Structure 1
Amino acid sequence: MIVRRAYAHVPDGSAGEWPWTVPCVRQLLGEGMRFTAPVTFLVGENGSGKSTLVEAVAEAYGLDPWGGAAGRRYAGPREKSPLGERIRFEAAGGGRRMLGSRAARRGFFLRAETARDALDRAGFGPDFRSHGEGFLAAFREEFRGPGLFVLDEPEAALSFTSCLELVGHLAQVVENGGQVVCATHSPLLTAMPGADILELDEDGARRVAWQDLRLVDHWRRYLADPGSYLRHVLE
């Protein structure tokens, strides 16, 4: 692992402003965020702060918040976030050298919203391949060796089978000494053995077993009886 804990301090006079008002960010300010496994999934409803956290972690580590690899010049128009500028890390045993020097940091940030641009710049553009195939090509080539690999809803471009392949790539990252932080809505990805799962809601973030996730419960109920959900939106 590279990072054992992330923490930050709110700027003076800014406590009532975004992103400091987001519950999971307030918790980060008060307690920090501990990483207890090589793969950490952040799960929650839209607006719960998943993307806010993963983007800030990527930026604090030195990854382009627009998406891309460590050590490459920022290519996107996205400005640095106030949270990303203030996050600091406590190193895990394998991350002291990497966190001690920005030049030594390795990793990649892939966010669903800007993935096509990031993949184009990394040489995995859409020519002769689908969007999902470009994602998988990036995973094969960029998600290798020790480093911090951050993903924001990677399942957006992937089929069921491709999501299974992604789990295999993430396992290879772990085997090679890397660490993964991933925001997702996927019950398939979060079922990865050994992963740590943080469920985000209006109370902040809490560790949850896969089988106790709200999204897993909803998917079970929906697949068993779609009509019980659809009648509320179609009637």
Structure 2
Amino acid sequence: MIIERAYAHTGPRNDDEWPWSVPCVRDLLAHGVRFTAPVTFLVGENGSGKSTLVEALAEGFGLDSWGGSHNWRYASHRPKSPLGERVRFDAAPRGRAMLGSWATRKGFFLRAETALDALDREGFTPDEVSHGEGFLAAFRGTFHQAGLYVLDEPEAALSFTSCLELLGHIDRLVKSGGQVVCATHSPLLTALPGADIIEVGEHGLRRTTWDRLALVDHWRRYLADPRSYLRHVLD
């Protein structure tokens, strides 16, 4: 592992304004977030703040919020977020050398909306393939060395079988010394054995297990009886 805890300097702020009003951000400010496994999944509804949190973690590590590796730090026009400016880390024993200086930090921030653009800036251009195939080709060709890899909903472009392949890439990555923090809606990804799962919501942040996730329960119920859900949204 590279990092074992993330926290944020408090400083002046208005708790009624974004991002300080988001419950998971308040939890980060009050207690920090501990990482207990090489792969951590952040799971929550849209608007819960999980993407805000992973973006701030990426920025705190020195990764461009637009997406990309540490070599492309702040290459985009986007300014660093107010939360990302304050995020700091406690290093895991194996990560102390990497966190010791900016020059030694390795990693990548992959966000679904800008992934292919970020990969193009890295010199990786998977021509004549679908969006999902491009994602997987990026993992094969780019995600293979020790470092911090922050992913924001990577399943967005992937089929069921491609998500399974992605899990294989993640498993090989962490066995090579990498660490992954991933925001996701996928019950398939979060089933990775040994992964730590943090549920994000109005309660802030809380650890849970795959079988206790609300999204897993909803998918089970929906697949068993789609009409029980569809009758609420269809005329």
Residue in 2 aligned with 1:200? 200
Q: How far apart, in 2, do the equivalents of 1:73 and 1:175 lie?
A: 26
**Aligned 8 A contact 2:63 2:73 in 1:** no
How many residue pairs are counted as aligned between the two chains? 235
Q: Hey, what does 2:176 align to over in structure 1? A: 176
Compared with structure 1, are the counterparts of its residues 13 and 198 closer, same or farther at alpha carbon in structure 2 (3 Å cutoff)? closer
Map of 1:44 onto structure 2:
44
Deviations 1:171-190 (A, max 9, x none): 01110111000000000000
For residue 114 of structure 1, give the secondary structure of its aligned residue in structure 2: helix
Question: 1:210-229 counterparts in 2 under 5 A?
Answer: 210-229=210-229
Tell me the CA shift for residue 124 of structure 1: 3.4
1:156-209 Cα distance to aligned partner (Å, 9 max, x none): 011111100000010011101110000000000000000000001101011111
Unaligned runs of 5+ in 2: none
Note the 1:50-199 alignment, pairs <5 A: 50-125=50-125, 127-199=127-199
Q: Distance in 2 between matches of 1:149 and 1:69?
A: 9
Query: What secondary structure sits across from 1:200 in the alignment?
Result: strand
The superposition leaves residues 78-125 of structure 1 with CA deviations (integer Å, 9 ceiling, x where unpaired) of 221011000000000110000111100011110011112112212333
Instruction: Give the fraction of aligned pairs with identical amino acids, expressed as a percent.
Output: 73
Contact 2:70/2:108 (CA < 8 Å) preserved in 1? yes
Give 3-state SS (helix, strand or coil) of 2:10's partner: coil
Instruction: Provide the rounded CA distance (Å) in 1 between the counterparts of 2:131 and 2:227.
Output: 31
Q: Distance in 1 between matches of 2:58 and 2:76?
A: 14
Q: Tell whether the 8 Å contact from 1:10 to 1:20 is kept in structure 2 after alignment.
A: no
- Does the aligned pair in 1 maintain the 2:126–2:137 contact within 8 Å? no
2: CA distance, partners of 1:13 / 1:192: 38
- The alpha-carbon deviation at position 14 of structure 1 amounts to 2.6
- Does the CA-based 8 Å contact 2:24-2:205 persist in structure 1? yes
AA partner of residue 105 (structure 2) = R
Structure 1: segments with no counterpart, 5+ residues: none
Task: Please list the CA deviations of residues 12-61 of structure 1 after superposition, one character each: whole Å capped at 9, or x if unmatched.
Answer: 14332210110000000000000000000000000001100000000110
Contact 1:119 1:134 in 2 (8 A): no
1:228 is paired with a residue whose SS is helix
Comparing 22-31 with 10-19, greater Cα deviation is found at: 10-19
Matching residue's letter, 2:28: L
Match of 1:12 in 2: 12
Normalised to the residue count of structure 2, the TM-score between the two structures is 0.97
Q: 1:114-171: per-residue Cα shift (whole Å, max 9, x none)? A: 1121122123335211111111111112211210001000000111111000000100
Q: Which moved more, 1:136-145 or 1:194-203?
A: 136-145
Give 4+ residue runs of structure 1 displaced > 4 Å after superposition.
none
* Deviation of the 1:73 alpha carbon: 4.3
Alpha carbons of structure 1 residues 13 and 148: separation in structure 2 relative to 1, 3 Å: closer
Q: Distance in 1 between matches of 2:32 and 2:161?
A: 35
- Describe the shift of the 1:12–1:204 C-alpha distance in structure 2 as closer, same or farther (beyond 3 A): same
Match of residue 28 from structure 1: 28
